[in-house]
Amino acid sequence: MARSAQRLVRATAPAAVLLLATIITFIASIGFIASPVSALVETQAGINDWHHRWIGTPYLSAVHRTSRGSNQVFVATDKNVIASIKAKTGELVWRQILREDEAIHTIRTISGNLFTLTGTGEIHARLLDSKKGQVIWDFTPVGETAIRDTTFGQAAAVTSEDSNLIILNQGRHVRKLSAKAGTELWHWAAEEGSPTTYFALLEAKGFGAHTNVIYVVGLNRGIEALSIEVVALDSITGEYIKTFAAKSKISTFEDVLILGGAAAEKSGYVAWSDEDSLKVLTLGSDRASQTDFQTIVNQVPSLSEFVSKMEMVSLKLPDGHTKFVVAATVGEYNDAKGAGLIDIDEKTGELKVVHDFGDRTGFSSFSAATYPGANDKVIVVRAFRGDSDKGVLEFVDLSDSPITTRHELFPLDFEKFAHFTFMWTEMFTRGAPTPLGRVYFATMDGSFHAYSDVAAERWYREESLAYARDVEILDLPERKLWTQDVNEAGQSSEATQNSTLLNRYIQRLTSHVLQLKDLPAFLVSYANPSSLFTKAPVATPYSEVSIGAALYNTTSNYVKRPVPDDGEGGDAETASQDTETVSTHNTTQLYRDHFGVRKILIFSTDKGKVVAMDSGNKGEILWSRFFAWGHDIKNLVVVRQAHVRLPPVLAMVSETSDGGGNKVIRLYRLNALTGEDFQSDNFFFPASAWIPAGYANAFKLPLEDPDEKTHILAIVDERMHITTFPSTPAAESAFKDFAEDFYFTLEANVGAIGLRGFKPIVSGDMRRMDVEQVWSFPFPKGEQIAAIAERPSYEVMASLGRVLGDRGVMYKYQNPNFATVITENINAEVPYLRVYLVDVVRGSILYEAKHENIGLTQPILATQYENNVVYTFWSEGETSTSAKGFQAVALELYESKNRNQRAKSDTFSSFADERPYVLGQSFPFPHAATAIGVTSTKAGISSKDILFGLSRRSIMTMNKRFLDPRRPTAPPTALEKEEMLIPYSPLTDDPRLLLSYDLEVAGVRRIATAPTLLESTTVVVAYGQDIFVTRHAPSQTFDILNEDFSKSQLLLTIVALVGVMIITAPM
């Protein structure tokens, strides 16, 4: 929070001006008064709003395997979402959004449906309908919980003899469930308190007289390391048979792979990495083989110079396969990955090397699949980067003799996606003579892709937007593009400077004459007879997949070029047929519409990516940039709007590491229209910069750099130093003049136990500016910040006072430096929250209130606008018999308790001793809220609406008249009726208040708004997991004609009336 010490506020206002403002506000409110709520007409849905449903980054997947390729791919994501996606197009079919504490352990297809094992606090085994995602049955063990914050200890398997399910829970409970009904058939539990935690299940070949065996694999916690322990159970009855153990020294369960089995006649194996060797235990016996790493290195030349621990990589093959990959970092600069394919000899249980993948620079991901109808034929896929703008898929066909390799190169811009993370492969024929492949993969930025041998079935989903953290809303430049780059004659600025004044005048006159050719078309478009009976516009369907660039498209926007063989295992004939796809698409120039509704929405994400979307084109992605290697984006700030010949500039502040474990701040300047680095001729204003210290805070100052016309940023680092960005002499000089009035706080974050105020220390050396503490406010013991809110810096207050029923005026408290800080103490005997209104310049408490018996698990939210504060929380009630529920509290601040009384000074100062008069009232609120915001308009004349993101996955709007602390609790008096106050009542649960109507807007974390050129209309952006964007008119659209208004009919009516007048005039 940053504020200036003094702001000029008019102490008096002429009565005429105040009356005019009141009349304008009254007129703007007429629409709302006539209809307190307004529902959306069905035909308008999807016209002025759009909704993108995101699921997050997948880490588990499953498909129904068919020879023609799957129609749906099922995925589980780190946002705790289970989803079905069309395999050919990437469109979302359905999704199941689970609770935040319901981690997903397993998904797999069974009998045409999808089985899931989820939960940490409470385990759920569910069978979902694969077409609609509906729950067929849900089994929950009573009184059992999973091991929190991990998938360890949870597993599932399918029995081959009856196709029923075996589930493992809590690392010790094993159950068999009926796949049809979800009922428990038997239950086995390990001894409580055992040092062994079981984590995997596998049906495999039995031993002795036991033919139907399910093996439960666990890790026994020894003094120095973990060791393998396996329990054999009868899969039909659940009876305990025997325990097998193998000596081992395992560091983590990630060093263990479960292979083979999946049928009563197939051998199963446990393979693990043990110090300097790989070991394999054949299930059902005590036989364990050992292979030294050096033996493997001798057969895999790409690992000869390995410098890291050997990793065992699962290929995600169907049950029964025993192949896996051993990989390690290699190379002089530790920048490459060597890998070899390993298999297990079924007769001896020994490891054998099948293939050397070679070494590749950067990261590598592996996956594999079997031929359709031929489970013994395997293709392994390795994904890695070819260079900065291409990805490579290396297909290794193990069914050929000798083994063959082919490479597929495709566009994958490093600055957008970086490296591969998760990958999964399927093969299909679909009538083709040779198998076709489809590879699903995720990248470091969070997006999800599919690359298919069928060009029309390549797609990607920008799932990084499921992690949206912040948004900047940018106004587009006007359509007159020549004001940015060239003059009206099409000449550059350099050519214009070399032209004479007479030539420029002639060019302007000529261009105006040439523009007359467009006059007939304009007149026709303005008065088109075909529009006499036009209908309202209809929403056009769109998909989250098609909003971005056609990344893998092979239409006319892309060209194919031959790719030479890289010399790593592919033959010349195969390589000559490979192609790369290069984008030649040119982005159309962006410009604003007549009413300024079209915006650029620039999101930053938790993954470190910045994505720009076109709000006027259903959220089409304009550009994206991924800042890899741990960039934690702290601030996105538009430091310059579009000016004449100057594009808008976006500044990004992030914290990352310098490679040696030390924190650094990195600063970037981007062209907000293209996402490219914004280059300047000024040496002191580079496109990027860095500060060798950790991040504390950053502030956008009300100062402009005189050369670049950009706002100056003040960056405060952990050393308590201030750095200006840009660091030009002019910017530093401007900051020095401003520093005396610059006050800010640093610890104003959720979880802080106090507040401290600071200001810069002004000295002659501008290269290093320190800060000093000017005030401190420690909270009472046990309290910490739960929510914080400030009045938006761009907000306009149209009216200085509130007109009462008797025509008196209560003047609004206009302190621009106060903030709302809400703390909570959940460890107190009676949990409570406390509300502080704090002047951040002086550190004084302007108002304080306390609410007891608050809920411990529900979020506390707050927003602040004009002289109002609104916050929500869960109340357990003052007594045991009191009603429980959500409460919304509204505060209004005035200069005085007395009507018509104003502050005495023309200049407001935070150091004055004046305190506001505060009115407050609480209202029962019908829903749990996850986000809160407030509408904003150009002049602040329209009424304010409070916007709530609800846990029911909706966006609700509530006019401030409902959240008015002056609403009478008794029957309203004549003066209160004159003031049009609504009698007190709980806030209503009216579906007509839902901006999102029947849409499911999931995981809303924040709501941002931006004004348009229409005073009646604001742009609303709700984001978190989903993104929902709409237009909203709190006081109805009083400044624009209805959409069914016909200009053609008006003109024809005028012409008809003139004709009638001419005809009837002589009469």
- pLDDT, tens digit, for every residue of 59-80? 999 988 777 778 899 999 999 9
Q: Is residue 406 part of a domain?
A: no
Q: Which has more pLDDT, 34 or 858?
A: 858
**pLDDT for the residue 487:** 52
**pLDDT for the residue 276:** 87
Mean pLDDT of 495-502: 69
The helix (H) or strand (E) run that includes residue 523 is helix 519-526
Q: Please state, in angstroms and rounded to a whole number, the distance separating the CA atoms of residues 397 and 470.
A: 45
Q: Please state, in angstroms and rounded to a whole number, the distance separating the CA atoms of residues 911 and 894.
A: 18
Residues ≥6 apart with Cβ < 8 Å to 1063: none
**Residue from 135, 99, 132 nearest 118 by CA:** 99
Q: Is residue 984 part of a domain?
A: no
Q: Is 691 exposed, middle or buried (0-12, 13-18, 19+ CB in 10 A)?
A: buried
Q: Is residue 502 part of a domain?
A: yes
Q: Please state, in angstroms and rounded to a whole number, the distance separating the CA atoms of residues 927 and 955.
A: 11
Q: Is 265 exposed, middle or buried (0-12, 13-18, 19+ CB in 10 A)?
A: exposed
Q: What is the mean pLDDT of the chain?
A: 85
- State the DSSP code for 677: B
**pLDDT for the residue 552:** 56
Q: Collapsing DSSP states into helix, strand and coil, what is residue 251? A: coil
**Residue from 241, 242, 172 nearest 201 by CA:** 172
Strands 324-330 and 336-344: antiparallel
Q: Please state, in angstroms and rounded to a whole number, the distance separating the CA atoms of residues 281 and 258.
A: 10
Q: Which has more pLDDT, 837 or 1044?
A: 837
Q: Determine contact, residues 1024/1006, Cβ cutoff 8 Å.
A: yes
Query: What's phi and psi for 258, nearest 5 deg?
Result: -105, 125
Confidence of residue 524 (pLDDT cuts 50, 70, 90): low
Q: At residue 810, does pLDDT exceed 50? A: yes
Share of the chain above pLDDT 70, in %: 86
Q: Is residue 500 part of a domain?
A: yes
Strand arrangement, sheet containing 311-314: 311-314, 324-330, 336-344, 351-361
Q: Please state, in angstroms and rounded to a whole number, the distance separating the CA atoms of residues 304 and 721.
A: 49
Q: Please state, in angstroms and rounded to a whole number, the distance separating the CA atoms of residues 107 and 128.
A: 10
β partners of residue 461: 448
Q: Which has more pLDDT, 333 or 484?
A: 333
The radius of gyration of the chain's CA atoms, rounded to the nearest angstrom, is 34
**pLDDT for the residue 29:** 46
**pLDDT for the residue 1061:** 92
Mean pLDDT of 357-379: 88
Which residue type sits at 1040?
A: I
Strands 436-443 and 801-803: unpaired
Q: Please state, in angstroms and rounded to a whole number, the distance separating the CA atoms of residues 641 and 304.
A: 56
Q: Is residue 514 part of a domain?
A: yes
| E-assigned strand segments in 453-525 | 459-461, 468-475
Q: Determine contact, residues 938/1012, Cβ cutoff 8 Å.
A: yes
Confidence of residue 491 (pLDDT cuts 50, 70, 90): low
106: left (phi over 0), alpha (psi -120 to 50) or beta: beta
Strand arrangement, sheet containing 81-86: 58-63, 72-77, 81-86, 92-97
Q: Collapsing DSSP states into helix, strand and coil, what is residue 573? A: helix
Dihedral angle of Cα 1052, 1058, 1062, 1064, to the nearest 10 degrees: 90
β partners of residue 864: 869
β partners of residue 632: 655
Q: How many CB atoms lie within 10 A of CB 428?
A: 23
Q: Please state, in angstroms and rounded to a whole number, the distance separating the CA atoms of residues 429 and 423.
A: 21
Query: What's phi and psi for 603, nearest 5 deg?
Result: -100, 140
Q: What is the pLDDT of residues 559-581, one digit of tens each?
A: 222 222 333 333 323 333 333 33
Q: At residue 834, does pLDDT exceed 70? A: yes
Query: What's phi and psi for 637, nearest 5 deg?
Result: -135, 125
Reported residue count of the chain is 1067
Q: Which residue has the tokens 């304080």?
A: 848
Q: Determine contact, residues 1015/1039, Cβ cutoff 8 Å.
A: yes
Q: At residue 33, does pLDDT exceed 60? A: no
**pLDDT for the residue 4:** 59
β partners of residue 250: 226
Q: Is residue 348 part of a domain?
A: no
Q: Please state, in angstroms and rounded to a whole number, the distance separating the CA atoms of residues 117 and 104.
A: 6
**pLDDT for the residue 685:** 76
Q: Where are the alpha helices (DSSP H) in 156-239?
A: none
Q: What is the pLDDT of residues 655-710, one digit of tens each?
A: 999 878 899 999 999 999 999 999 877 776 788 999 999 999 999 999 998 888 89
Q: Which has more pLDDT, 405 or 498?
A: 405
Q: Please state, in angstroms and rounded to a whole number, the distance separating the CA atoms of residues 623 and 631.
A: 18
Strands 868-875 and 861-865: antiparallel
Residues ≥6 apart with Cβ < 8 Å to 1008: 471, 473, 933, 1020, 1021, 1023
- State the DSSP code for 70: -
Q: Which residue has the tokens 């040439």?
A: 514
**Residue from 242, 187, 581 nearest 411 by CA:** 581
Confidence of residue 773 (pLDDT cuts 50, 70, 90): very high
Confidence of residue 464 (pLDDT cuts 50, 70, 90): very high
Q: Please state, in angstroms and rounded to a whole number, the distance separating the CA atoms of residues 476 and 913.
A: 44
Evaluate if pTM is beyond 0.85.
Answer: yes
**pLDDT for the residue 24:** 45
Q: Collapsing DSSP states into helix, strand and coil, what is residue 298? A: helix
Which range marks the domain in which residue 485 is found? 480-534+1041-1067
Q: Is residue 842 part of a domain?
A: no
Dihedral angle of Cα 601, 605, 609, 614, to the nearest 10 degrees: -20
Q: Is residue 528 part of a domain?
A: yes
Domains identified in the chain, total number: 1
Confidence of residue 903 (pLDDT cuts 50, 70, 90): confident
**pLDDT for the residue 498:** 64
**pLDDT for the residue 764:** 66
Q: Determine contact, residues 315/380, Cβ cutoff 8 Å.
A: yes
Dihedral angle of Cα 517, 520, 522, 523, to the nearest 10 degrees: 150
Q: Which residue has the tokens 């070679």?
A: 358
Q: Please state, in angstroms and rounded to a whole number, the distance separating the CA atoms of residues 467 and 632.
A: 12
**Residue from 496, 741, 724, 462 nearest 603 by CA:** 462
